[in-house]
Structure 1
């Protein structure tokens, strides 16, 4: 279960991880990037990119597709 891996990597409880993820989903907030990239890789299977301040939405992807005529 991914939440267990995140909690293990962040050395925190499942409840705190679940609460944070739900709060982020409801507010549309971007997930904070872990400071330790190896912990992030262990939790998710890949090292995340640095945040760029842009939320990638379906609308954004559709606009990019239209611009590229894909």
Structure 2
């Protein structure tokens, strides 16, 4: 696959998993609700993996060669 496509897919995946993480975290702090710590952990791991993929597969530009 093209590096640009992989980078875009990684950015979209990071955005979706981060949005899920934002929605799941408040349930851990509400007194009456039962939180799902495993779901928060999985969402956090996916966010980190997608962000690392986006950084790894970004297209080479002026930022890479120091200018």
TM > 0.5? no
Q: TM-score, normalised by structure 2?
A: 0.28
* Larger gyration radius, structure 1 or structure 2: 2
Question: Which structure features the higher share of helix residues?
Answer: 2
